[in-house]
Amino acid sequence: MKMKKGTTNSFVDSPLNTSKGALYVKGHLEVKGKGTLNVTGNSSHAMKIGEYLQFKSSTGDVNILGAKSDGIHCGDGSALPADYEDNRLIVNGGNITVNNCSSDCIDCDDYGTAIINGGTINLNVSQTDGAGLKADSIIYMNGGTLNLNVTGNISEGIRCCYAGYFNGGTIQGTVSGAGARGLKAKKTTSASDTVLNGGNTYWNGTNVTLSATGSTYTADNTKCMGLRSDNNMTVTAGTIAITTSNSATGISVKGKYSNTGGTVTVNGSDFKQ
């Protein structure tokens, strides 16, 4: 899909739409061009891509204005090994903004991966128990900027369901929902989960600035946090700065914490597990 410079291209579906999204592609989709793309999903997802979705370096503005389910959903519904490589998001450029979703803002499903090499992604996570950027397996961030505004209770700005490799770029924003997290690397052990174990994060150059201001979610006593690794957190480069208030936790690591070269501070003090 090429968006001609100076044009606005809109996709809006009916609440009675029986397809899987307002903009539905069974195969893969590559988006380029300096125009504007606006998508609203009134029946389900706003954008539903059966294989991989790539925003090229030449991409202009992409606005998900609302969705009954996910804003952007990548994955064909199959978790078979032969299909894993197709379930992915690649962002090389563009200014992507996602608002008003009832489920996740961006969901890379069925062992899906997210690869962020450039561009700017603005995620407004207002839904309860949702995620801004979610990958069933691995998130690779090599460049670009992720702007997070997490206001939904027990939601996450970023959710890695296996591991996250943060090699470059910038993550910044505010986490104000009760029990919300800026990032969670999830470790699962139930046979019903798509990806087992995991929960590791590797910080190799991404610069992070987050403010965690949310209260505790009283229904299950979940605390608001800046970063949470259910397993190990390894830091080799980059800067991570977390400020907190209202009894929120800056960083929580369930497993082993290792720092061999990065700068990690919480409220101006070095983080210690």
| Those residues with Cβ within 8 angstroms of residue 240's Cβ, 6 or more apart along the chain or in another chain | 203, 207, 208, 227, 251, 262, 263, 264, 265, 271
Whole-number pLDDT of residue 75: 84
Whole-number pLDDT of residue 141: 98
Whole-number pLDDT of residue 249: 94
Structure tokens at 98: 């996602």
| Regions of the chain with pLDDT less than 50 | none
| DSSP character string of the chain | -B--TT-EEEEE--TT--SSEEEEESS-EEEBSSSEEEEEESSSEEEEESS-EEE-TT--EEEEEEESS-SEEE--S---GGGGGGSEEEESS-EEEE--BSS-SEEE-SS-EEEE-SSEEEEEE-STT-EEEEESSEEEE-SSEEEEEE-STT-EEEEESSEEEE-SSEEEEEE-STT-EEEEE-EE--TTSSS-EE-EEEEES-EEEEEE----BTTTTBPPEEEEESS-EEEEESEEEEEE-TT-EEEEESS-EEESS-EEEETTEE---
pLDDT in tens, 219-273: 999 999 999 999 999 999 999 999 999 889 999 999 999 999 999 999 966 565 5
Whole-number pLDDT of residue 79: 57
Whole-number pLDDT of residue 76: 72
Tracing tokens 């125009």 back to the chain, one arrives at 35
Around Cβ 267, how many Cβ atoms within 10 Å?
A: 11
Structure tokens at 130: 């949702």
Whole-number pLDDT of residue 191: 59
pTM of the model: 0.94
